[in-house]
Amino acid sequence: MDVGGRTSHAGFTFTTMHHDSTIRCTWPMTVGVRSEPRSRRIPREPLKSLVEPILQRVASGEAAAVQECLDRYGGLVWSLARRFCSHREEAEDAAQEVFIEIWNKAGRYDATLSSEITFIAMIARRRLIDRGRRRQRALQTEAIDDDSNFPTDDQAQELIDIGDEAAKAANALQRLRPDEQKVLKLSIYEGLSHDQIAKVTTLPLGTVKTHLRRGLARVRELLGVDPATIEKGGES
Amino acid sequence: MSTRRRYVPNSPCEERLFELLYTRAIQPLTDAEQSELDALVAESPDIDTDCYDRAAAAIDLHCRGGRVHTLPDHVRERILAVAPGKSSATLMGTATPNAATKPSDAAKHAQGARGDASASVTDRAHPSASQFVMWSGWVVAAAASILAIVAWFSQPAPVRVLTFAEQRAKLVGEAKDAITLPFEPTDDPHGKSVSGDLVWSPSQQKGFMRFRGLPANDPQASQYQLWIFDKPRGTDHPVDGGVFDVQVANGEAVVPIDARIRVFEPAMFAVTEESPGGVVVSKRKHIVALATL
């Protein structure tokens, strides 16, 4: 409880994943960008998913659903935990904490607002970011997705369906200026702080903050969650 | 489901709310900011508080491109072990004994070895070799039998995760420093009929609460939260002991204590009813159970 002081978010390097790892596809993969007609930005019906929804079953206390949920989203949560944590033990604690959160909040999932995987990623990110606050220190500043802190038997990868919102996010990002796209990716995916982004991009700190705020707001709108934007005709 | 659908600020307070929601989506809030956010969210219940988090999650997923690390088996089992109210037999699957190590199969193998050895005995042209083959056959058969028996008895029993009630009983039985305190009812409408107890082990930093009479909550409307008052921290900064739900109305519920940070010298345990997800600083409006040392 008694924690204080702003913790700066991460300082990750730009390591990307290029492993000679086992790749297996757990279910049909839809990776890529699809343009959505503007009239369909606000989902009126639950978003379609390639897999059967599971969170409702988890919320109702179905034991098998808990296991399926872990099978389906374990890789995503684990990958996020690895990115936010510098050591395996910490990542294991974090992954466990995230799943407890998911089970507790499964009943709040609303299929009209997002796909399940976006909901899972949202819960996981929030919990992982919040760990930084709770631990009274900055999130780890070691390499993002750098496997050096993880044993070699932990490098297997798989491909997952990343959901409709990811495609919409891609679409939204494409509409931003290259600088804005870069700043958003560095912040959200690479986990860099504002200062670090300013250094990397050589953009003024104020510009970084403006790009981030504007970019995230734009993606939020284009995910189809801003009725005001729709009324105005979309583009702002 | 969610009724929080408004995304446009209508006042300076709501602008500040969106500012905090945006910040939360990309970096940790300070405690003061988190408290401010909790208060602002309570004042604007129709705001979609997930909107920025959802956008950030979507960008994260897009950048990830669908490639994720496989969850290691031991982490998976560890997570399943804390799945609330789940049977380990269902969750973890049942271990199927390896057929090759069953005594019956080993005996068959041994029988086969004996058969081969017996056939070798008739080979008079090379008596010493035959004798060797015969004896080696029996030795192999005996060794196979012994190995099979050892393997059979040394097979790990199917793992069964203890229920919270069992874990509580284990803690009470094993932790020499475990303290047990009764829960007292409070004046709150939801706390009037509460009874039960709390067990806490300072050395293990682990404990369980057992309630009767605590009304079932709607997790979308409110959740129970435990606060541990730790003497060195003072009464203004109780330790967050975890958020939980009670699903069985007036039935007995056993809840693990999830202290976020180390508790040095607990003086009091208080359960409050809070907004979904819990709060960082409780207004202590709805105290539903108390246990005091």
| A149-169 tens-digit pLDDT | 445 445 566 667 767 778 888
* Chain A touched by B192 (CB under 8 Å): no
Within chain B, which residues score under 50 in pLDDT? 1-4, 86-133, 152, 156-158
A216 and A184 Cβ atoms separated by less than 8 Å = yes
| B80-128 tens-digit pLDDT | 888 755 433 333 332 222 333 333 333 333 333 333 333 333 333 344 4
| A107-135 tens-digit pLDDT | 999 888 888 999 999 999 999 998 876 65
For chains A and B, count residue pairs whose Cβ atoms are closer than 8 Å. Answer: 258
Strand-pairing partners, residue A193, are none
* Chain B touched by A169 (CB under 8 Å): yes
Task: Inspect the interface and report whether the beta carbons of A173 and B62 lie closer than 8 Å.
Answer: yes
Measured between CB atoms, which of B5, B7, B56 is closest to A125? B56
Residues of A whose CB is below 8 A from B80: 66-67, 70
Give me the amino acid identity at B67: R
Shortest CA gap B15–chain A (Å): 13
Domain assignments of chain B as residue spans, ordered by start: 12-64, 99-154, 164-292
Structure tokens at B34: 């988190």
Residue A29 in this model has a pLDDT that exceeds 60: no
Residues of A whose CB is below 8 A from B90: 63-64, 67
Distance in angstroms (rounded) separating the CA atoms of residues B230 and B233: 5
* Chain A touched by B262 (CB under 8 Å): no
pLDDT at B7: 66
Task: Inspect the interface and report whether the beta carbons of A105 and B219 lie closer than 8 Å.
Answer: yes
The DSSP line for chain A is ----S-----------------EEESS----S-----GGGSS-SSPPP-SS---HHHHHTT-HHHHHHHHHHHHHHHHHHHHHH-SSHHHHHHHHHHHHHHHHHHGGG--TTT--HHHHHHHHHHHHHHHHHHHTTSPPP-S-TT-GGGS-GGG--EEE---HHHHHHHHHHHHTS-HHHHHHHHHHHTS---HHHHHHHH---HHHHHHHHHHHHHHHHIIIII-HHHHHHTS--
Domains and CATH numbers, chain A: 23-162 (1.10.1740.10), 175-236 (1.10.10)
The fold adopted by the segment(s) B164-292 is Immunoglobulin-like (2.60.40)
Measured between CB atoms, which of A9, A104, A225 is closest to B26? A9
* Chain B touched by A115 (CB under 8 Å): no
Q: Which of residues 48-107 of B touch A (CB under 8 A)?
A: 48, 50-72, 75-76, 78-80, 82-87, 90-91
CB atoms within 10 A of CB A215: 26
Task: Inspect the interface and report whether the beta carbons of A160 and B68 lie closer than 8 Å.
Answer: yes
Task: Inspect the interface and report whether the beta carbons of A70 and B75 lie closer than 8 Å.
Answer: no
Closest-CA residue of chain B to A217: B52
B291 and B180 Cβ atoms separated by less than 8 Å = no
Measured between CB atoms, which of B25, B51, B66 is closest to A31? B66
Angle subtended at Cα B8 by Cα B35 and Cα A103, rounded to the nearest 5 degrees: 55
Distance in angstroms (rounded) separating the CA atoms of residues A47 and A59: 19
Backbone angles phi, psi at B134, to 5 degrees: -60, -50
Q: Which of residues 206-245 of B touch A (CB under 8 A)?
A: 219-220, 223, 233, 237-240, 243, 245
Distance in angstroms (rounded) separating the CA atoms of residues B123 and A156: 55
pLDDT at A226: 42
pLDDT at B68: 83
| A41-73 tens-digit pLDDT | 333 344 444 567 899 998 888 888 888 899 999
A182 and A201 Cβ atoms separated by less than 8 Å = yes
Distance in angstroms (rounded) separating the CA atoms of residues B211 and B268: 16
Task: Inspect the interface and report whether the beta carbons of B237 and A226 lie closer than 8 Å.
Answer: no
pLDDT at A233: 33
Measured between CB atoms, which of B22, B30, B223 is closest to A6? B30
| A193-229 tens-digit pLDDT | 888 899 889 999 999 999 999 889 888 888 764 444 3
User: What length does chain A have?
Assistant: 236
pLDDT at A218: 86
pLDDT at B170: 83
Residues of B whose CB is below 8 A from A4: 30-32
| A167-194 tens-digit pLDDT | 888 888 888 889 999 999 999 988 888 8
Q: Which of B164, B200, B195 lies closest to B182 in space, CA to CA?
A: B195
Residues 6+ apart with CB under 8 A from B272: B224, B225, B227, B282, B284, B285, B286, B287, B288
